[in-house]
Structure 1
């Protein structure tokens, strides 16, 4: 049996893999520090690079004995600058900048990875560069050129992102590179696949269909970072298996002042629909180079947890930062301290179509029983992880094991709040499962004689449902 740490935070940590942490030793250290899911960002590198990272993640997972999940982040229709003639280029206030079709002939002529950009710009459109630090306004559009004026000055570099708030683009939700990467994910048993710049539920269903056609059961995470996504939020949350609040591009596409409330709205919708939600971007940004975060960053992580986030994501902090392990340890500390303020909702009866309604009712009841008798541990026997999905939304802080003999389910439970995956070979024998778990708990010091453990499992009488709750006293 693997040995999860019940002392670590209930809120999950997603860490991006990059040059600073892609070795097996560093990945193993990050898992030990508290990482539950590793993110591979397809916006950087080729499939050979992704495969190298995946192999190292799995080797590190085997070394530590923890079945961590892997999220492949499809870049989607991210529009980027082409190569600049002058690197970097400082854009002065009032400076004229043109987007041109083909190649640029002057420093103030920019190209784009989106070939139809000039065609789809209109006079008056705003163009945001370098994560919104530089702002332009379109003044005229000709056949092969869109002339803009700098309204907010700053420095830009090749391949930086272009955001077009308010512009209606015809670009597909998945580019050919995304389709190739999704098929690679299916072939390599990736646990989660996230899609960038989702605009409507159909974008999610398209990716799901592609994965299903390749016999892949990876969970699809929709990234909310466009105004159109906020307009169709409920349908997108319904269609997706999980949501990511991608605040980097979202804070450029909408007024940055509206981003905090948008985050709260997204999290609330995910809670209503019983879907896990990840809050991402600049959570501990200053720890790229500093060994401690700012107080504002610590508050940002804490408030995401208080809002109801299931996971928080680290991007450059672990991928290219100076202190990957320290940043994970710090995030775990903030999470653990914040979670003390959370309380279990005894009356939460949210129904999800992911599991049998009897399973939903039994899981909520078991959690309430565990709270009432001050149980030391809850154990959920599950093959798919669906029952653990229901339990995670209760926000009960009683340590909870998701016991499964399915490796895919074990890895995917890493995204569920408060669920610690543990492998077992006794899923069909309740008595043997109780013995195995209690022996393990006593061996590692989590259980002692007299402690109460609540088990959620099935009797076999009701097909495909958990209908059995057992309260066991440790001998």
Structure 2
């Protein structure tokens, strides 16, 4: 039985798959609670393990009847600590440590990293942030074989934890060979979204798009904003990408943590202006790793992202390794719904600019929304092959329940990331009578307060995309259900 969506949050939920939720039964439960897209984190696991997760996700999608999307998150050039001689290792304030070449530690106080050129690219005065920024070192001296540092913020570190280098210009490529291998696998296995980590310029995004195009892959490329350089080049990156992720974990280490909330608002506003979907990620319900309830601050964090205009919020460790993955999804869904119910005015965002080639679609879609509001239609149905018309409708932030109908399953799954759009699959969408029958059948199964959301005598506005109706750009039609 497909889960109801039209009476749930319009903002979408992305959930990370991990040991806590990777069985078909657990994934099905998360779909029923409101997950729209599952994320596979390529930083953990092998291609074979990713394939097993994907198979389970597809099976859960079949069982629930909901065409959930899949996002493959490329690890990117994440620099990590090597093996430590002591686990954990406490870095006392003022203590001296040195990064050395290679993978082996010979003397006390030496550290290694997974990035062979680290010592070549550090300079005296640079900061080295460890353990998600809780431990900070400052480089004092660099020689041909070592970079000597002093601890300026104390704390514990562990093997394989991330290294952040705020302000350091690294020459490492945006995609490592392992990322290219993963991206090719994703392209061959019809993954719906592929996210690129540590993006610095629009050329990074273009390189991934070119790779996917060579495999005739139509996955949407999501650029993760987590480097200061990305903020400097934000408009160009957003224009090049198909979507954006505000990756607050590394971003909050790479820039001053006090600047992170303002950066988040700026990124979301830029995405709205340039009409690209945006996901807010990292530590949204962090305390739910081990608690059935979030903190009040975390609830406010989710609500503020919704009010800012995000299209989706993402759960990471909460669902991947947490004790309460299902409760985490249900809680996020509930916060989103309450926020949208009480603060609808904040969701009426300004209409963004759009590419000249889509101006007709934009005008027709808005006109369809105006017609639906004027005659009190209970439902808008969008017929689209590619999902483009549905994306334009999503950006109007109209509150009229909207289904997007496509005869391409890949498009249906990709539309799961679009705010306020409920995607459904239907064969032969060029036959308007057949389309209306299928949408009506589906809508009558979506109950609100025990009643069907659509009944005999109600009107439905149908907007057909430019690639659906022969000889026309876009078409609006109004239908009274009999």
| TM-score, scaled relative to structure 1 | 0.96
Alignment partner of 2:141: what SS?
strand
Partner of 2:459: 452
Distance in 2 (CA, whole Å) between partners of 1:202 and 1:14 is 26
Task: Report if the CA contact (8 A) 2:383-2:468 is conserved.
Answer: no
1:85-137: CA deviations, max 9, x gaps? 11110101001111000121134211000000011110000000010000000
> Given the alignment of the two structures, is residue 327 of structure 1 paired with residue 328 of structure 2, yes or no?
yes
Q: Name the residue aligned to 1:175.
A: 176
* Partner Cα separation in structure 2 for residue 48 and residue 218 of structure 1: 20
SS in 2 for 1:216: coil
Aligned residues: 475
What is the match of residue 353 of structure 1?
A: 355
SS in 1 for 2:245: strand
- 252 and 436 in structure 1: CA distance in 2 versus 1, 3 angstrom threshold: same
**Equivalence map 1:83-94=2 (5 Å):** 83-94=83-94
SS of the residue corresponding to residue 180 of structure 2 reads helix
Q: CA deviation at 1:424?
A: 1.0
2:152 match:
151
Q: Name the counterpart of 1:161.
A: 162
Q: Is the 8 A contact 1:4 1:420 kept in 2?
A: no
Paired residue secondary structure (1:367): helix
CA contact (8 A) 1:89 1:107 kept: no
Distance in 1, Cα, partners of 2:112 & 2:466: 64
Point out the more displaced range, 193-202 or 450-459: 450-459
Q: Kindly indicate whether residue 202 of structure 2 is the aligned counterpart of residue 195 of structure 1.
A: no
The CA deviation at 1:6 is 1.4
1:426 CA drift (Å): 3.4
Q: Give 3-state SS (helix, strand or coil) of 2:462's partner.
A: strand
1:387 matched to which residue of 2?
A: 389
Q: Do the aligned partners of 1:356 and 1:464 also contact (CA within 8 Å) in 2?
A: no
> Aligned equivalents of 2:468 and 2:287: distance in 1?
55
1:310-339 deviation per Cα after TM superposition (whole angstroms, max 9, x unaligned): 000000000000000000000000001111
Residue 414 of structure 1, CA deviation: 0.4
Residue 438 (structure 1) aligned to one of 434, 437, 440:
440
In the other structure, the counterpart of 2:239 is 238
| Aligned-partner Cα distance in 2 for 1:392–1:427 | 20
Following the alignment from structure 1 to structure 2, what is the Cα–Cα distance between the partners of residues 461 and 442?
25
The CA deviation at 1:467 is: 2.1
Matched, 1:132 2:139: no
CA distance in 2 between counterparts of 1:311 and 1:8 reads 13
Classify the secondary structure of the residue corresponding to 2:319: helix
How has the CA–CA distance of structure 1 residues 353 and 401 changed in structure 2, closer, same or farther, with 3 Å as cutoff?
A: same
Once the two structures are superposed, the pairs formed by residues 358-437 of structure 1 within 5 Å of their partners are: 358-437=360-439
> Could you tell me how far 1:470 is from its partner in structure 2?
1.5
The alpha-carbon distance between structure 1 residues 463 and 345, as it changes in their structure 2 partners (threshold 3 A), is farther
Give the alignment's TM-score, normalised by structure 2.
0.95
Are residues 1:26 and 2:26 paired? Answer: yes
Alpha-carbon deviation of 1:353?
A: 3.1
Residue 158 (structure 1) shift: 0.6
Query: Partner of 1:43: helix, strand, or coil?
Result: coil
